Structure 1
Amino acid sequence: MSEEISIKKPTGADTPLRHFKGTLAPDEELSERRTTKDGSRSYVVLNFKFKDLEVIESVEPFPFPIAQITVGYAPPETSRGGTKFEALASSLRKLMPDNPDINLLKGKHQEWKMEEKSLRRGLTDEEGNPIMDGNQKQIWGQVPTLCWTVVAIDGLGSVEDADAEFNKFLVEMADGKTETQFYEAALTNSKVSARPNIVNAITDRKLLDTLKEMGLIERDAEGVMHALAAQPEKA
């Protein structure tokens, strides 16, 4: 049976927006439960409806004052991470470490940007066909994927400032400790555990090397870390 041809506006593709500022609608529900076409299962998506849009970057003209960004949702209890929602949530946790509540975004002017993250997904070839193993099961791997992240929120600050403040916190924690002492303290700290990328850097034994490369700490001959004074910015 032939498929019915429609010339309606496409709805299946991602938005052309890549970077924008806007105000999140204050009274709209964020979550929406949907059902697959065959009715076999339901799932939840989050719809972020923005007004007063200021387009910073778009892959095609976007002359509209409103936009809707939809992100699939998986509860933390069942999710292994590595999802588009986790990419968004991790940026939000930087701005709300003590009270992470996505509803705090409502009514606030904010800046969002798509950034490339490495997500675990089914591998495909250049034509988009699944890459199968010998048992005809799709092979999974880490795939560079564009994901929405929050850059800044009025009243909550910017992720850049939050990262700088967090680095200061890590340096203060490392000061006067050996590598083993630092990692033991860091892995039991709630601020650290709220940032999966930092936890990964710790388990990979890369975090202190990164802080050293940034010129924030140094290690003495006995293996003890010391904070370095901030360098004045050049005029």
Structure 2
Amino acid sequence: MAKVAKRMAKAWDGLDREKLYTVSEAVAELKARSAVKFDETIEVSMNLGVDPRHADQMVRGVVSLPHGTGKTMRVAVFARGPKAEEATAAGADVVGAEDLMEDIQKGNMDFDRVIATPDMMAVVGRLGKVLGPKGLMPNPKLGTVTMDVKAAVEAAKAGQVEYRVEKAGIIHGGVGKASFGEEQIIENAVSFINAVIKAKPSGAKGTYVKRVAMSSSMGPGLKIDVATLEA
């Protein structure tokens, strides 16, 4: 049997691993048991009844959390002329065209989100093998290929979270920091969960939301009662 670290054993002390919690109960427990020296991320994980290998069962989208993520988002924008100036004014961290493409090809990727104007996709397309595997490729369905650069940058900076189902049917995303107030984390978590539920694809059959859990970076993972989410 694997040895359980003292810190993790302490985090689980008094908790029932099989209990189903409401979101508010889970948030209270995770905040109370945060005992590390950094501000932990609170995360929601959802096991969905989909097979993302089929196009009509893919679950992907973005959601703007009401209280942000607590993380500083670095945004790169592919644009020229007035749109490049608009991106800079909106707070983009990196703005460019072919020069930005060359930097990325050299391995300079100090950003968390990539936005592009439609006319720049011929340039961005050359980076598919670099940006694609990291989930950074701009996509019009996610609002990251747009002429409204200002709104896209501001949304990313304000705490917009992108989610995408993995091969095993799992979606996860950070919904705040342990330093947030309980209500802030709860509202963020509910917004994230509701967005995923509303994104149910046409090809999904049977039970869509199978299991949900909440955890902190270094804390326990608590099972959420799916019935309370539906209610």
TM-score range, shorter chain: under 0.3
Which structure: greater strand fraction?
Answer: 1
Higher helix share: 2
Higher relative contact order (CA 8 A, sep 6+): 2
Higher Rg of the two aligned structures: 1
TM-score calculated relative to the size of structure 2: 0.26
